[in-house]
Structure 1
Amino acid sequence: MARLFRIFANVLHRPAVTGGLIAALTAFSCHALDAEFIDVANGEDLVALPNSPWILASSMASPSNPGGIYAINSHDHRVYHLYPPEGDVPVTESAENSPCPSPPGRLAPHGLSLARTDNGDVMLYAVNHEGRESIEIFSVRQNDKQAKPPSLAWRDCLPMPEGTSANSVTADATGVVYATAAGPYFDLPSRIEPFPSSGVIALKPGGSWYTLAAFDNRLTNGIAMSADNKRVFVADWYQGSVLVLDTDNPGNPVATIELGFLVDNLRLGDEGSLWAGGHIANHGDVMRCYNSDARQCAQPFGIARIDPESLEVYCQDR
């Protein structure tokens, strides 16, 4: 939900945490970090490729920006446009079995996530709002020497259920995909305008989407899996909290972590912490930024480091 990424240069190579304006953070402290700006229009989410200097970034579509996926070199901070490509879209052989007839010619990406196949290939999951409400899946092809940016080949797509618009996505080690979404699909009688009902849906390999949880007067946003795949962490942007769901007992959260800022994105760091980032602003100001034509409209942000086991908030910077 931001117009500009703020990059924490000294931790950029680690798995990314974004909170709209937050670009990347999985260091061991959330205080006194040097920051600089990297210009990616409507920057929404980041993921760090494993054992690589490359960061993949989603640029949301708007009246003044067509949207796309970019690669950022964490060493020299150069930005490269990856998708949509200038020519034909590369596709993998597995795309022949996709429920979608073709790759998206245009893309309005939102949340991003990475996963590995059984043979070690890296896949990028990207929420898309252009042409179809879907989660687009790409194979990430990395340059052996890593000096050149990676490339993307379209692999598959997961159409969203009718009446939903996804925000963020993650996948566990067994191939189950989880997505936060909002829309009339979730509508509950006690919802309050202007926000729709929202929730978390899941898709097992070869199955159909099912509801893991649905909420009144919350707006589910970022999502992350615990290392053991037993918990799903969900950002509640509207209420400024993180919800903890049990994958074996879906429904109501087993815990709620109040953070005091509008929690946008979540990421499990390589050191084991859960990192949360979001806006320190009222809902209206953030939405005005999101809907504006300005390429940049920076807002204050908050970050927090959470123990995913004890749920203790180790540090919080606002």
Structure 2
Amino acid sequence: MKNITKIALASVMALTLSACSSTKEPLVYDNFQANKTDSFAKTTMRLAGSNKFVDSSDGIEATRQVAGASAMQLGQLLMLDFAGAATSAINESALENEPLAKQAQFIVKVKNVSLSDLKNANQIVERASKKIDQLASENQLMIADEKSTSIQRQITYKSNTYCENANVASISCAQYLGHGYIGSYDKLKSEAYVVFETRNTIISLFMMNGYRGDDVYLFHPRKISGGTFSSSYGYYAGSPIVIHQGKVYHFITNEKAGEGSDLDDLRYIFYRKNDDKKQLFDFNSKDMSFSELPLDAKL
């Protein structure tokens, strides 16, 4: 059953990944500046090429939210998703038509890029892609197999320690990366920001945990889910977030760089359903380990 789960999750991720082409036109700034009251998270998504993200006092308005979620137990909330009945309880937000808000996104800053270099966008995207491979290597994730399709790279990793931890929750040690595109370019700083949609955020979060460089960001929506009625899965971060230099940032008005919480303290839930079996897991991004939770666990 575990192998079936892995295959099912991999298939859904591969089939549903909607990567953008590197030919997408970037936003070009003469001298990018953060808006005075914008959060670090919102500013990051502007660099990713979107001006649609919004801040609020509690950080929940940047993506969908479930009505009454604060009063619900986590198990009840997830059972709605498992049953496919959550639609009626979901409020549409201002970001309903923003593709970046739907899935997790790596955002990589590439330095020393001239305006003329933008004509060779694929070369810039390739530099950013190598940075993500570097992150994997620094976290002892070696590439065991790699396949490319018209929309994505499918990367399978091997590790003496961490991939075995993922097996506890029947998570494949693999990542699915869209081919990437340049979201924005800053003329004054000669910096381009490259965006890659990423699936299997277990791997993405693990890679970001120990990285303290200033050139890689990870956006994660409140919840990512998929599958069928009989077999489904999801990742739950509680609210939309941006991860950078080991910190978690929310879309909270005036939350600036350095004011985020530690990534180690993020409550991150993985849930799945196979036939009639439902399971919840707490995920620790420091070592890619899982702890199973009761279905009535509190948020």
The structure that is helix-richer by fraction is 2
- Structure ranking higher in strand proportion: 1
**Looking at both structures, which has the greater relative contact order when contacts are Cα pairs under 8 Å and sequence separation is at least 6?**
2
TM-score, normalised on structure 1?
A: 0.26
TM-score (norm 2): 0.27
